[in-house]
Amino acid sequence: MRKKVRHQEDAADVNVTPLLDIVFIMLIFFIVTATFVYEDGFSPNLPQNSDNEDSIPPPSLLLTVMENGLVRIDDADEVDPRSVKPRAGEFFAANPTGVVIVSAMPNSEAGVAMTVLDEARGADVAKWNQITFTLANR
C-alpha cells in the first residue's frame, strides 16, 4: 500500500524545469520582437480604367491642387484648401451621383492634397467612393 502511493507520486513529479526554461525564453523572444504598429489613415481612390467608355460620364467637380498651396475649383476660382468642404457639399447636394476629382499638380505638396481629400470626404460621408485622387497631366 505504501509503495503504491509512493509510485503514483513519482509519476506525477515530472520535472517541468527545462520546459519552463524554454517557454520563458520563447516568451521573452516574442515580447521583445513584438512590434505593434498603430496608424491612422485612409485609402485614397485611384482612377481605374472603366470598360464602358461610351457611357455618359457623371457630372464632376474638378479640384486642382496647385503648387502655391491653393485649390482651383473647376478651372475657375482659386480658394484655400480648408474652404473646399462647403463647395464639395454643395456639389454633392446638387449631383448625388457626381464625382469629385482631386487632381494634384506633380510639384504640389502632398499635405495640401490630403487636406483637400479630407475636406471633400468631410462634405458627405456616404460618398467617399465618389472621390478620386489623381495626378494632373499638365
- Total residues in contact with other proteins, by rule CB under 8 A: 42
Candidates 12-20, 55-63, 71-79, 87-95: pick the segment binding other proteins (CB under 8 A).
Answer: 12-20
Distance in Å, CB of 42 to other proteins, minimum = 5
Using left for φ > 0, alpha for ψ between -120 and 50, and beta otherwise, residue 74 falls in left
Nearer to other proteins, 95 or 109 (CB): 109
> Does position 20 bind other proteins by CB under 8 A?
yes
> Does position 56 bind other proteins by CB under 8 A?
no
> Does position 109 bind other proteins by CB under 8 A?
yes
Contact 89, 123 (CB under 8 A): yes
Q: What residues have CB less than 8 Å from 69, skipping those under 6 apart?
A: 81, 108, 109, 112
Binds other proteins by CB under 8 A, chosen from 10, 11, 30, 50: 30
Candidates 51-59, 72-80, 92-100, 111-119: pick the segment binding other proteins (CB under 8 A).
Answer: 111-119
Query: 3 to each of 7, 8, 9, how far by Cα in Å?
Result: 6, 9, 10
Contact 99, 136 (CB under 8 A): no
> How far is 19 from 8, CA to CA, in rounded Å?
21
> Does position 114 bind other proteins by CB under 8 A?
yes
By the criterion CB under 8 A, which residues form the site for other proteins?
16, 19-20, 23-24, 26-27, 30-31, 33-44, 46, 65, 104-111, 113-115, 117-118, 121-122, 125, 133-135
